[in-house]
Chains A and B, each alone.
Chain A
Amino acid sequence: MRLNTPESLLYPITVTKLLHQPGDDIEQNAPLFTYEYKSTVTEWDPDSREDVERIKSFYADFESELEGNITSYNVRKGQVLQGRTNVAEIEEACKHEIQFGGICANCGKDMTTVQYNSTAKNTDRATVNTVHGHTQLLVSQAEASRADEEAKRRLLDTKKLSLVVDLDQTIIHATVEPTVGEWQNDPSNPNYDAVKDVRKFQLIDEGPVAKGCWYYIKLRPGLQRFLELVSECYELHIYTMGTRAYAENIVKIIDPDRKFFGQRILSRDESGSMTAKNLKRLFPVDTKMVVIIDDRGDVWQWSPNLIKVSPYDFFVGIGDINSSFLPKRPELEAKPSKPANTDHAATADSPDTSSQDASPKVAATAPAATTTNGDVSAVDRLVSMAGNQDEGSMKEKIDEQDEQITEQLENRPLLQKQKFLDAAEEEARASPAVEAAAELLANNGSETEQEVLPHPKYRQNLLQDDDTELGYLGQNLSNIHQVYFDEYQKAKAGAKGGRVAELRPGHGKKRSVDEFEHIPDAAVLMASMKARVLQGVNLVFSGVVPLGVDIHSHDIAIWAKSFGATVSENISKRTSHVIASPERRTAKVRQAAKRGGRISIVTQGWLFACFTQWRKLPEGPYRIHSDAPINGSARLPDSFEGKDEGQLSSSDEEAALTEDETDPGTKTPNGLSIATDVEDLEKLMPSMDRADSSPTEQEEPDYWADINDELDAFMGSDADDDSDAESVKSDSTAGLKTPPSARKRKRDAESEQGEEVNEEASDSQLQKRKKEALSRASSLTQMVVPSSNGSTPAAAPTDPGGGGGEEDEGDDDLEAMLAAEMERESDDEAGTAA
């Protein structure tokens, strides 16, 4: 190792004598050479009887901070050193490349001690953590590369890749909800079939609250086959945010013989970070042969090696019990999924919902910390990301997790939900009209649900065991493996030409290094495989991502982009697909529908199915809103026929939402809040401005017509609807002094709501029937074709600005014109379509 003079010497210094010969051994802190330096000193001059400054020469020893054999001196006698200089090479007996708990594992010396003249800490020599189960064992970069090379050679010999597997919500779903245990012991329970193979274990020394509580583990369907298949071509590692004990217990369940995972388990105890997962922790040198599967992309910073799988959400609404340390999940929950069950429980409920409303709210609070979708603000995320360093917030997080577990134990969200479902069932039996709705729900439900239906108790089950992700995932992983090793063979064959030179004497050692340079990068291969999936697809999201969230930084968009799709904010000539929610027909959906069949309007289900299967699926069963845009003739969306698709069933069920949705005051889809602060709206303004201005000239009138349309409809319905929530809302909005720019935005948001009302009322005959059955007086259905003149007076009182009278009059005229034009246009279109 090179020995340098430190910066702190008083340069220039002159070497006066070398005290050793090259080849000598030298001890730590022994002098290597002597030198002379000059310095000014203040001396008492007896002649002038005062202090004088003089420059004097001093002599000193230069001591070696290293111990070992001197291989060469790089200075000679009489040389003047002007600054930091390399003075000698010293070959150390031990380079302290492997350290355990601050001791060198090779020589047993304490690495934490610092000598008076040492310039670098010995502990800095080994900083890389390579071992799964320990944080105390550190190795140097060189040692890590050696180990890596060894591992790579082993993998190439056995034709395997490394696969990093996440536990929670990827291959299993865990909960501490005691209700699961009760259901397991009760064969008459509608959920018995689903939970009978749920495994459980008890953790004794977990936190103060969770002490000794039972964990219920549901394995993702097909897990055993998946592991067997995948372990043939991958070396499996576990990387989980759960504790060590938790991970060990899970492995006991999924891999009792340890034939898949062995000792390769990394838990949060050893991860080094509570909020992020880092591939460098396991593969510090090279990640070319690594593939990750995880249900969360953000914790991996969307690493290119990652295959994001859809989260496995078996215990409805529980989420990931180990994620309280992670930044809150920012995504919109994948499949417009099983929580939908509770929603239509609410749907099928009769008007006294309000009295029962309290209970689901309580139930919802428990998993809120983990499963809140979309509406996590950027600030929240920042705080939770930044706050993880200091002890206090660490403890807070642990407390939070405890709290969450306690809440799950006490509130039993699953039980509440099932109760709620049962209550809905009661309701359905009580009123024959609602039975029709229940029947429909049952038809839409999954296989299991249908099986349960004939049960004398006629109860719906909350939990559904219908996940197919792992089958496709296994397929994809073996495809990647195949492509990888094909590529490897090709690269190796290609490299052979160049090997003539390498085989010349003297190149023997280098060859092995080159061998690794030719291995393909799994991340690159995956990226190119994925990019082919949705190539040429141009996506626009509508009613899927919460307002105010930048679509390009949203999980679903990042995910879609990784599959080669392009994501834009507005409908344009290039747009090929609009991803919309089935129960809301937004302006964009109408706009897209007007373009005829060129743009497919599909549910998120299509996108997720493509992500899962890694191929572009036919849109057919996922199509929604495929009727003519304006005439609003009621019929069932096509997607009802495609209910055999697992992902789809629940989204269809969501389409059946009615009652709740018609009252925008109480339910706000996607967490969109109507009475938003003015500041918030202002903040949002710039982007919305851009969104407004970007459509082409031709589109603009349509756009405004749509908005006015919706606004009219909304205002009309508003006037008719005299529910409490509604009036409160309009009061509050009228009180707001909204700046003109913000007002437009607000109206947009409201009109979307209104449109939804309109939508719901007119869209499906079934819903109408249901509504009629409930004899809920609503005149919404009459508002399908709004007349601009009739509705403006109704609109005026709720005009949130309150100050733009003249402007409004101008608007009226414009509105009338536009509405007329639009009607003409739609007629034209209908004519051409016919």
Chain B
Amino acid sequence: MFFVKTLEHRIDLHPSFFSASAPDFIREKLYQDVEGTNTGTFMIIAVLQIDDISEPKIAPGTGFAQYNVGYRAMVWRPFRGEVVDGKVTNVVNNGFFADVGGLAVFVSKTMLPPTMKHNAEGSTPSWSEADGMIIEKDSQVRLRIKGIRGELGQMYAIGSIREDYLGYLNL
């Protein structure tokens, strides 16, 4: 789910950037530092607005200036039970992997409809069903997130397509 969230980020500025254009550097650096990062619970999609840049403090012993930047950002946080769309990246014999934005989701074979069969022959391994639904690399799938675990900078999730209206998406 997408949210707009107020966040804070500390930026250390090297003395060589101390000038009238320091705020520009700060802005630039903020975009570089935070956009696209993953905190372990959510992903920062984009910085919407910079609310305030604090007065700098000189860090003792280094000469770097520390700015606290408050900003509002669009974040994406996946929840357990949420239904999301993703793209299959790899098909293996005990399930398949899909990317949902920056989130790697694994769908285990126990989470696939029991009628689906794994085919390892041929150039691309796939999961297929008698009615022609084939999940292979680069297929679009809709899945329900069953579990999420976050580490700093990385999130893992388990998905399921063992429900009605989930699975292969014909877009």
- Chain A residues engaging chain B, CB cutoff 8 angstroms: 98, 100-110, 112, 130-134, 136-137, 139, 143, 147, 150-151, 154, 158, 257-259, 262-263
Contact = CB atoms under 8 A, between A and B. Distances in A.
Given A101-B104, A103-B149, A137-B92, 20 more contacts: A100-B156, A103-B147, A103-B148, A103-B156, A105-B108, A105-B111, A106-B110, A108-B80, A112-B149, A130-B93, A132-B92, A133-B90, A136-B106, A136-B156, A137-B106, A147-B93, A150-B93, A151-B120, A262-B122, A263-B90
B124 A262 contact: yes
Contact of A106 (B91, B92, B111, B157): B111
Interface residues of B, number: 29
A778 to B, nearest CB: 65
A523 to B, nearest CB: 23
Contacts of A158: 121
A102 B137 contact: no
A150 B109 CA distance: 14
Nearest to A255: B123
B95 interface: yes
A147 B123 contact: no
B138 to A, nearest CB: 12
B70 interface: no
A102 B156 contact: yes
B158 interface: yes
B93 A258 contact: no
A101 B156 contact: yes
B94 interface: yes
Interface string B86-130: 000011111101000000101010110000000011111100000
11 contacts: A98-B94, A103-B156, A130-B92, A130-B94, A136-B104, A136-B106, A147-B93, A151-B93, A258-B124, A262-B122, A263-B125
A722 to B, nearest CB: 62
B146 interface: yes
Nearest to B108: A105
B147 A104 contact: yes
A131 B146 CA distance: 22
Contacts of B94: 98, 105, 130, 137, 139, 143, 147
Nearest to A262: B123
A75 to B, nearest CB: 34
Most chain B CB inside 10 Å of its own CB: which residue of A105, A112, A132, A154: A105
Contact of B123 (A131, A151, A258): A258
A610 B80 CA distance: 62
A609 B110 CA distance: 52
Contacts of B148: 103
A151 B118 CA distance: 11
Contacts of B151: 102
Given A108-B158, A147-B93, A263-B91, A101 B149 contact: yes
Contacts of A103: 147-149, 156-158
Interface string B49-89: 00000000000000000000000000000001000000000
B95 to A, nearest CB: 7
A144 to B, nearest CB: 10
Contact of A257 (B93, B123, B149): B123
B95 A98 contact: yes
A258 B91 CA distance: 14
A108 B146 contact: yes
B1 to A, nearest CB: 18
A100 B110 CA distance: 14
Query: 4 nearest interchain CB pairs?
Result: A108-B147, A101-B156, A108-B146, A105-B108
A136 B80 CA distance: 20
B101 to A, nearest CB: 16
Given A101-B156, A103-B158, A109 B147 contact: yes
A259 B123 contact: yes
Most chain B CB inside 10 Å of its own CB: which residue of A106, A132, A147: A106
Contacts of A147: 93-94
Contacts of B122: 262
A104 B158 contact: yes
A150 B119 CA distance: 11
A150 B94 CA distance: 11
A108 B145 CA distance: 9
Contact of A154 (B95, B120, B154): B120
B147 A107 contact: yes
Contacts of A143: 94
Given A100-B158, A105-B158, A262-B125, A134 B90 contact: yes
Nearest to B91: A263
A733 B66 CA distance: 64
B150 to A, nearest CB: 9
A576 to B, nearest CB: 48
A818 B3 CA distance: 97
Contacts of B156: 100-103, 136
Contacts of A130: 92-94
Contacts of A101: 104, 106, 149, 154, 156
Contacts of A98: 94-95, 108, 110
A142 to B, nearest CB: 12
A259 B106 CA distance: 25
B65 to A, nearest CB: 26
Contacts of A257: 123
A143 B93 CA distance: 11
A106 B137 CA distance: 21
Nearest to B146: A108
A180 to B, nearest CB: 31
A109 B122 CA distance: 34
Contacts of A133: 90
B12 to A, nearest CB: 21
Given A110-B147, A262-B125, A105 B95 contact: yes
B5 to A, nearest CB: 24
Contacts of A136: 104, 106, 156
B95 A134 contact: no
A209 B111 CA distance: 44
Contacts of A110: 147, 149
Nearest to B136: A263
A102 B91 CA distance: 19
Contacts of A134: 90, 92, 97
A127 to B, nearest CB: 15
B156 to A, nearest CB: 3
Contacts of B157: 103
B43 to A, nearest CB: 15
Most chain A CB inside 10 Å of its own CB: which residue of B95, B106, B146, B154: B106
Contacts of A108: 80, 146-147, 158
Contacts of B80: 108
Contacts of A263: 90-91, 124-125, 137
Nearest to B107: A105
B136 to A, nearest CB: 10
Most chain B CB inside 10 Å of its own CB: which residue of A104, A110, A132, A263: A263
Nearest to A110: B149
A112 B93 CA distance: 24
Nearest to B155: A101
A714 B131 CA distance: 86
